[in-house]
Structure 1
Amino acid sequence: MYLGIDCGTQGTKALLIDEQGIALGRGHAAHQVIQRSSGAREQDPQWWIEALRLSVKQAIAQAPGHPIEALAVSGQQHGLVVLDERKQVIRPAKLWNDTETATQNAELIARFGGQQAFFERFGIIPLTGYTVSKLLWLQQREPENFARIRHILLPHEYLNFWLTGNLCAEYGDASGTGYFDVRNRTWAAEVLASIDQGTGHLLRALPTLVPAQRIIGTVKPDVAADLGISNSCLVASGGGDNMMGAIGTGNVTEGVVTMSLGTSATVYSFRNKPAASPNPSIAPFCSSSNGWLPLVCTMNATNVVTQTLDTLGRTVTDIESALATTIPGADALTFIPFLNGERTPDLPSAHGSILGVSASNFTPENLIRATIEGVSFGILEGLDLILDGTNAKRILLIGGGSRSAHWRQLLADASGTDVHVPLEEEAGCLGACIQAIFAARSEIGSPETFIEICDRCIKLDDQRTASPNPARASQYAQARAAYKHYRITQYGV
């Protein structure tokens, strides 16, 4: 068996599969989040350990007697875990959605001459949520804790350390730190030197980088005994949650797109080469499958749909009838859904807008459609940025939005691309399982490619596939054009 563990913001999930990708056991445990009005979002890494222990034990209990050959961990990206000389956690981890380091992020970019110059040197433009601004924040706001730093880890790396006692990093998750050169796959020593005044303090604190095929160790005897697994169980490098989600949807070859419609929305597609030119809207990450994974995130997705439904006194069950009884473009009603500001385009202080309202089109059904179209058009513009004129072979849809048949059809019609839904909803966990298989096979000298393993382990729900309806292509082209026109008119971008 193979074990995939996904440590997210809200909780940790575990999945056990066999060689063919059949799920044999599952587990889940929730996390708390520390939130402050300053924008701080933090968690005690011990909470992740306790959630891992609970979720793994739940999964193993459903498949007794099956030895686990290898495991891998998927983790929320960008979080900062700092350890002292005794390898003890110094303070709670600052998370990906922690925004109180915005000032430090802007300061770092300015130190290197602005966004264009930063990209030219390191292949990426750091955003506030990235790890690097958290280090500068510590240096400026908590100098005593900063001075104690001896090891710097991301969430999945910390769990790997707890499992094996080894300190390792891999290219995919490392590429979201802001102190990693994504083109050359090396630590960006200059960025760290700008924070520690060239002492080398931070560079020495970074873990060893390893490729996707590397086994980083075996589970420590005490941890293995606690979890109920063998201490010969191999631990693969694992990676960030988006990177594992890509693997778990078969997004390991060019032309495949993964789109996640959750509280926020993300879209990403595997590339054999890194981005050649900067675009602040695209995160030019490395993949955890020895390639690159350009990614776009929008902040407003199912949360906006849910709020609209609540305002109208409707529920998610009303989505299907609303989309079925209205036409593409919602009879010229357009909703720009920036209720939480927006990341793509970069409008952190923006508010939403409802435009084109008339006596004939202002109905609950049209408003529901306009909301879903606004969310969809935003992430499809992100997809266009990533594809840069090329065509997608297929879209793999995950997240809450994937459950709506009419929403899937809308995306297929508006993109002109087949939309598929994987049978396994926990793409991060499955991706970690597949990464564990890949590394274990490499370790024993019987390597398989990611494509081969994904073809075997990933199953699609054929009943939920949506193919584009050519008759609606022009309608959605007009609706998307109206959306873009209003967005530019209202917000300037």
Structure 2
Amino acid sequence: MTQQNLYLGIDCGTQGTKAIVLDATSGKVLGLGAAAHTLISGANGRREQHTQEWLDAFTEATHRALQQAGVDGQDILGIGVSGQQHGLVLLDDSAQVLRPAKLWCDTETAPQNERLLEHLGGESGSLERLGVAIAPGYTVSKLLWTREQHPDVFARIAHILLPHDYLNYWLTGRAVAEYGDASGTGYFNVRTRAWDVALLQHIDPSGRLEAALPELIEANQRVGTILPAIAERLGINPTASVSSGGGDNMMGAIGTGNIAPGVITMSLGSSGTVYAFADQPNVSPQASVATFCSSSGGWLPLICTMNLTNATGVIRELFDLDLATFNALVAEAPIGADGVSMLPFLNGERVPALPHATGSVHGLTMTNLTRANLCRAVVEGTTFGLRYGLDLLRQTGLQSHSIRLIGGGSKSPVWRQMVADIMNTEVICTEQSEAAALGAAIQAAWSQSGDSLAALCDKCVSVDPASRTLPVAASVSAYQQAYARYQQLVATL
């Protein structure tokens, strides 16, 4: 029997934590576990979470994954952590969390972001200085908001951490950050890969924030060894090492084998993301493109749409449809939904950049107002948003011979065909849909084993041949017309 090399990959997302056990020798995922989180929501766009829920979910998901894998936790050699990006976790000097973590989807800090953007000289000034245009979801406006709304909390800040940094701190007692996740803070320069200390001094001239920054480490460096008490709590080997980890998109890139130019990863989740590896920081003049660093030694230009399966879900609920019936209705309607167009901007929108937009339906007549056309129009509308973003990425010189599709929507053959036709690119799903957790486990093996990341991805990331979907020429041109209609409607906003 071959010797197993077991690694734990954790993905702490908005809705819950996933854990996987990976055997890096065979490349197989042996077990999967999950546990849910709850969200604190407020009327003014507040979206926060108690960090204790992450620790409880981390523990529960790990126990479930080990149990399903049927392995001894004492055989785990290393852990990698993927975390939701942009969130703010503040600790005092005795390592106590000062308040609930403010999340990426929190918009309460929009006024603070507006003022910081003005200070940077608008979107173009922000792009020039940082390589990204700061947006309300980023971490930097959360710091200014804390200073203004909770001065007592602000005065006690000793550590400023992102969600995955915080989990690494809990595991090892060491506060560090890596370039990929740090790119989404808004106080980090993606070209030079360094903190923008002057921007933090603008928020607080005392130097408190600068002193609270974690040390930056490389993607293949280890944070340290797991603390004995945490190893006991998780039921794993006390000599297990903890890798740098990263943001969920960066880990998703590794987990889909997107570590060299030519592959594009597209996630069809509640929001939609499209990203690709680049070996140079080609910063787009378009503020919608975030040229983050990757967690594999390069860059990861990325776009994010705010409305995807959350929008299709609303239409499903409206007509009280299960997934199979919904997909059947989408397939029943023709391309272009008989002239019905939906701009599904129910949450406002980031790509196209319409933060204050609302959703709308256009082109309705007595004959085309059917359930099937509305179901099709919402899926087309959300997918056109991804096409809009992909076009922005392609303008930065990204080439794509294939799209790796992940997320809940990727399980629908109808949607896969739609993506292939609208993007005019071959689409294929990865075998492991929990790409971020897989990427975290692969990164843990990379930092521990000395194997090359490419060799590990070749072994551990496999595509599902049955999901391979090619564009159909006639459909590509029919969608082109429907997409032109979508662009005209967006232009009027």
Q: Is TM-score (shorter-chain normalized) higher than 0.5?
A: yes
* Mapped pair 1:75 → 2:78: no
Q: Distance in 1 between matches of 2:13 and 2:123?
A: 29
Q: Deviations over 1:212-244 (max 9, x none)?
A: 110110111111122111111011000011111
Q: Match for 2:176 among 168, 172, 175?
A: 168
Q: Give the SS at the match of 1:206.
A: coil
Q: Distance in 2 between matches of 1:334 and 1:40?
A: 31
Q: Give the SS at the match of 2:20.
A: strand
2:245 match: 238
Q: Distance in 2 between matches of 1:21 and 1:429?
A: 14
Q: Match for 1:283 among 285, 290, 293?
A: 290
Question: Aligned partner of 1:90: which letter?
Answer: L
The 5-angstrom pairing of residues 8-87 of structure 1 reads 8-19=13-24, 20-62=26-68, 63-65=70-72, 67-87=75-95
2:131 match: 123
- Per mean C-alpha deviation after superposition, the further-off stretch among 62-71 and 428-437 is 62-71
- Shift of the 31–321 alpha-carbon distance from structure 1 to 2, 3 Å rule, reads closer
2:371 match: 364
1:352 match: 359
The 5-angstrom pairing of residues 411-430 of structure 1 reads 411-430=419-438
Q: Match for 2:217 among 210, 218, 237?
A: 210
Q: Is this contact kept in 1: 2:124–2:287, CA < 8 A?
A: no
Q: Distance in 2 between matches of 1:130 and 1:166?
A: 23
* Mapped pair 1:4 → 2:9: yes
Q: Distance in 1 between matches of 2:209 and 2:434?
A: 35
Q: Give the SS at the match of 1:317.
A: helix
- 1:208 CA displacement: 0.7
1:157 match: 165
* Mapped pair 1:461 → 2:478: no
The 5-angstrom pairing of residues 217-228 of structure 1 reads 217-228=224-235
Q: Distance in 2 between matches of 1:123 and 1:73?
A: 25
Q: Give the SS at the match of 2:283.
A: coil
2:333 match: 326
Q: Give the SS at the match of 2:365.
A: coil
Q: How many residues align?
A: 484
- 1:441 CA displacement: 2.1
- 1:266 CA displacement: 1.0
Q: Distance in 2 between matches of 1:300 and 1:225?
A: 41
Q: Give the SS at the match of 2:405.
A: strand
Q: Distance in 2 between matches of 1:65 and 1:91?
A: 36
Q: Is this contact kept in 1: 2:82–2:251, CA < 8 A?
A: yes
- Shift of the 268–429 alpha-carbon distance from structure 1 to 2, 3 Å rule, reads same
Q: Deviations over 1:236-289 (max 9, x none)?
A: 000011111111111111121111111111111111111334311111111111
* TM-score for the superposition, normalised by structure 1: 0.95
Question: Aligned partner of 1:270: which letter?
Answer: F
Q: Distance in 1 between matches of 2:101 and 2:358?
A: 30
- 1:312 CA displacement: 2.7
Question: Aligned partner of 2:15: which letter?
Answer: Q
Q: Deviations over 1:93-137 (max 9, x none)?
A: 111111111111111111122221122111111110111111111
Q: Distance in 1 between matches of 2:338 and 2:159?
A: 57
Q: Is this contact kept in 2: 1:33–1:43, CA < 8 A?
A: yes
- Shift of the 390–183 alpha-carbon distance from structure 1 to 2, 3 Å rule, reads closer
- 1:196 CA displacement: 0.9
- Shift of the 407–286 alpha-carbon distance from structure 1 to 2, 3 Å rule, reads same
1:293 match: 300
Question: Aligned partner of 2:391: which letter?
Answer: D
Q: Give the SS at the match of 1:274.
A: coil
The 5-angstrom pairing of residues 308-457 of structure 1 reads 308-388=315-395, 390-442=398-450, 447-448=451-452, 450-457=453-460
Q: Is this contact kept in 1: 2:331–2:376, CA < 8 A?
A: no
Q: Distance in 1 between matches of 2:360 and 2:233?
A: 53
Q: Distance in 2 between matches of 1:482 and 1:65?
A: 57
Q: Match for 2:236 among 224, 229, 234?
A: 229
Q: Distance in 1 between matches of 2:447 and 2:72?
A: 23
Q: Is this contact kept in 1: 2:283–2:291, CA < 8 A?
A: no
- 1:390 CA displacement: 4.4
- Shift of the 390–216 alpha-carbon distance from structure 1 to 2, 3 Å rule, reads closer
2:199 match: 191
Q: Match for 1:178 among 165, 178, 186?
A: 186
Question: Aligned partner of 1:325: which letter?
Answer: E
* TM-score for the superposition, normalised by structure 2: 0.95
Question: Aligned partner of 2:112: which letter?
Answer: Q
- 1:60 CA displacement: 1.6
Q: Distance in 2 between matches of 1:486 and 1:190?
A: 41
2:3 match: none
Q: Give the SS at the match of 1:16.
A: strand
Q: Is this contact kept in 2: 1:5–1:13, CA < 8 A?
A: yes
Gaps of 5+ in 1: none
- Per mean C-alpha deviation after superposition, the further-off stretch among 314-323 and 364-373 is 314-323
Q: Match for 1:470 among 473, 484, 488?
A: 473
Q: Distance in 1 between matches of 2:278 and 2:322?
A: 39
Q: Sequence identity of aligned pairs in percent?
A: 50
Q: Distance in 2 between matches of 1:163 and 1:277?
A: 37
